[in-house]
Amino acid sequence: MVALVWVCAGVGLPSAHAQAPKKVSPQLWRAVQQAPRDVLVTAQGYPDLSRAVHLPDKPARTRFVVETLMRHAEQSQAALRAALRARGLQFEVLWVSNQLLVRRATLADVQWLAQRADVARLDLDVPVKGVLATPRAMARPSVTNTPTWGVQRVRAPEVWALGYRGQGIVIANLDTGVYWAHTWLKPNYRGWNGTTAVHDYHWFDAAPEAGQLPADEPTDLTGHGTHTVGTSNGVGGIGVAPEAKWIACRNMAGAAGVGSVARYTACFQFALAPTDRNGNNPNPDLAADITSNSWACDPGYGEEGCDVPTALVTPTQALRAAGIMVIAAAGNSGGQGCGSVNLAPATLDQAFSIGATTSADTIASFSSRGPSTLTGRIKPDVVAPGVGVLSAWHTGESAQMSLSGTSMATPHVAGVAALVWSAAPWLRGNVEGTEQLLRATARPLTTTVQTCGGVPGTQVPNNTFGYGLVDALMAVSYTRALRSEAPSLAPAGAPITYTVVLTNVAPFTRAGALVTATLPTGAMLLASDPPAAQVGQLAVWSLGALAPNAVITLSYAVQTMQSGWVSNAPLWVQFADLPAPVPGRSAHTFLEARRFWLPLVYAQIP
């Protein structure tokens, strides 16, 4: 099996000095008294990103989030940046989390920073020496153009037959880097046009080797990142979405694969707004759609800052608001039993967490079990093939390796998400809806052996398999289950009529359906056919059983005085025999403010 990326090192010996100031983490306080250290400085405040969900598409959401975050960071950090420059300190801006990474700060620098009103917290950020545990099978002969067992098990080839292979979707591989010239990877690298390569905006090195400049082109010293990107969207039968593009950011350095909070955050930031190779000129229009994360932020192995369980909540929430899906390995600590999903980002609600299964659809012994130790909620979300997975390797253009781990399961799901968004572009950027779709359409898997978090393993979902084995064909099929139409343009104050069409795409009768549509803010429900119940801002229809291919049409009219974009989003159908709701295609209308033309009256004075 393959562990995520395990790192280990010691921290400084306990200090005899005074207790750490309130804003300074104990680890930083001990370490900085021995030598200058890299310090992660969190500035005060964070902007409200909630407006993003109301924007009509993923590009608009991403631009709004990036512009809002950068503007806030510039304003809240302006005086701090100037003071750091005047003090002669080097720093990097992590606007995605309103932080600064200050290089080689002394004890005096830390004391000075702790006294500033515009600083909220100071943490140690140490790229420590570590070990990548890689139990691996021997490489096998190539199965070029024959889908691997994992690709077949998630039913990707059946989606390819429908014409959807990940076209138009970009997956960001945030890992140990990528050997980009590999035969199975090069065709889908976004920086390759078939003749030449341009690495700006497609590659960023947030974890350069000690004493070296960042790599100018995608590179991988461990093979881990090369392997995972091959599974998500490599060609030659190894990738789930073989026409999706990939970009990459190295967040773990060296043959050991060494990460840090700042490195992980920097790569999330690059996925949100790719930059040139020097980290300048961010462009949200080139943002990724999906991030594949086969790693864990582990304080037990010396990754400072990861002792704060919520350390990565801020950047992952920013990506979610921007319409970028964060897919993360659940972990390889299954031997510890229940509650072994205990490291970020897998523990976070903002990440879609993935467990690993064998070719017999049993849980891999190493696959971490839930619930999340942070939230207490069901984890993993779903499972995917993670044992004996064949993919590309970093030692040559045709090199391959068979590996095991939740690291290998995670890119299967990244590829499935790409297939779904390729088949249903209207769902692209709707992270919550996509997660619910993948949960609802997963093949349920249960166990009589284990009960975790008070949830029996015989129940769906459970803390061993989550909602089950991800199913690309079922997910793509259900993107056609529920859709809505409405005028694209209307004057504010005029009634808007929405037409909702529900289809049972399953080849068997579905139990009673419950359809919900969200009314625009402040809207009044004027009429509906058949009659709908209004529950707050929801219009709700309770329907009977649906036979195969049955179609039901619903309509309702609303009136709102607001101008701008309005929609009946989110739109959902909940079938009684599915464990999660299925998102529908919502309708968006732009309401123009009314223009009142007053007649001009001329009075002629005699």
Annotation marks residue 50 as catalytic: no
- 144 vs 249, higher pLDDT: 249
Q: What pLDDT is attached to residue 120? A: 97
* 435 and 323 together in one domain: yes
**pLDDT tens sequence across 448-467:** 999 999 999 999 999 999 99
The residue written with tokens 């068979």 in the block is: 402
In terms of Cβ atoms closer than 10 Å to its own Cβ (0-12, 13-18, 19+), residue 185 is buried
Asked if 588 and 488 touch (Cβ cutoff 8 Å), the reply is: yes
**pLDDT tens sequence across 170-187:** 999 999 999 999 999 999
* 552 and 412 together in one domain: no
Asked whether residue 579 is domain-assigned, the answer is yes
Q: Predicted confidence band at 493 (pLDDT cuts at 50, 70, 90)?
A: confident
Q: What pLDDT is attached to residue 546? A: 94
Annotation marks residue 412 as catalytic: no
Give the domain-ending residue among 415, 446, 477: 477
Asked whether residue 251 is domain-assigned, the answer is yes
Catalytic residue among 72, 182, 224, 588: 224
In this structure, the number of other CB atoms found within 10 A of the CB of residue 480 comes to: 14
* 473 and 495 together in one domain: no
Q: What pLDDT is attached to residue 17? A: 54
Give the domain-ending residue among 437, 461, 477: 477
* 327 and 470 together in one domain: yes
In this structure, the number of other CB atoms found within 10 A of the CB of residue 462 comes to: 26
In CATH, what number is assigned to the domain containing residue 530?
A: 2.60.40.1530
Asked whether residue 112 is domain-assigned, the answer is no
Q: Total structural domains in the chain?
A: 2
Q: State the residue range of the domain holding 220.
A: 149-477
Asked whether residue 190 is domain-assigned, the answer is yes
Q: What pLDDT is attached to residue 267? A: 98
* 337 and 449 together in one domain: yes
How many CA atoms, within 13 angstroms, populate the side-chain half-sphere of residue 469?
Answer: 23
Asked whether residue 380 is domain-assigned, the answer is yes
Distance (Å) of CA 399 to CA 309, 395, 468 = 38, 6, 32
β-pair partners for 100:
41, 93
> What average pLDDT does range 530-553 have in this prediction?
94
* 421 and 505 together in one domain: no
Distance (Å) of CA 441 to CA 395, 448, 466, 487, 584 = 38, 22, 12, 31, 14
Catalytic residue among 232, 353, 407, 567: 407
Asked whether residue 516 is domain-assigned, the answer is yes
**pLDDT tens sequence across 13-32:** 344 457 889 999 988 999 99
Annotation marks residue 118 as catalytic: no
Q: Can you give the C-alpha Rg of the chain in angstroms?
A: 26
Q: How far apart are CA 99 and CA 112, in angstroms?
A: 17
Q: SS3 of 321, please? A: helix
Q: What pLDDT is attached to residue 3? A: 36
* 496 and 461 together in one domain: no
* 458 and 495 together in one domain: no
**pLDDT tens sequence across 114-135:** 999 999 999 998 654 332 334 4
Backbone angles phi, psi at 356, to 5 degrees: -120, 140
3-state secondary structure 123-145: EECCCCCCCCCCCECCCCCCCCC
Percentages helix, strand, coil for the chain (3-state, rounded to 5) are 25, 25, 50
Does the pLDDT of residue 11 top 50, yes or no? no
Does the pLDDT of residue 597 top 70, yes or no? no
Asked whether residue 56 is domain-assigned, the answer is no
> What average pLDDT does range 464-478 have in this prediction?
98
Does the pLDDT of residue 193 top 80, yes or no? yes
Could you tell me which residues come within 8 angstroms of residue 482 by beta carbon, excluding any fewer than 6 positions away?
500, 501, 502, 503, 515, 571, 572, 573, 582, 583, 584, 585
Q: How far apart are CA 526 and CA 556, in angstroms?
A: 7
Asked whether residue 20 is domain-assigned, the answer is no
Could you tell me which residues come within 8 angstroms of residue 394 by beta carbon, excluding any fewer than 6 positions away?
179, 182, 220, 221, 222, 223, 226
Give the domain-ending residue among 423, 442, 477: 477
Q: What pLDDT is attached to residue 1? A: 30
Backbone angles phi, psi at 39, to 5 degrees: -125, 130
* 377 and 240 together in one domain: yes
* 443 and 548 together in one domain: no
Q: Predicted confidence band at 169 (pLDDT cuts at 50, 70, 90)?
A: very high
* 414 and 499 together in one domain: no
Which residue type sits at 141?
P
In CATH, what number is assigned to the domain containing residue 154?
A: 3.40.50.200
Catalytic residue among 123, 175, 220, 289: 175
3-state secondary structure 231-260: HHHCCCCCCCCCCCEEEEEECCECCCCECC
* 472 and 490 together in one domain: no
Sheet holding 496-503, edge to edge: 482-485, 496-503, 551-559, 524-529
Q: Predicted confidence band at 514 (pLDDT cuts at 50, 70, 90)?
A: very high
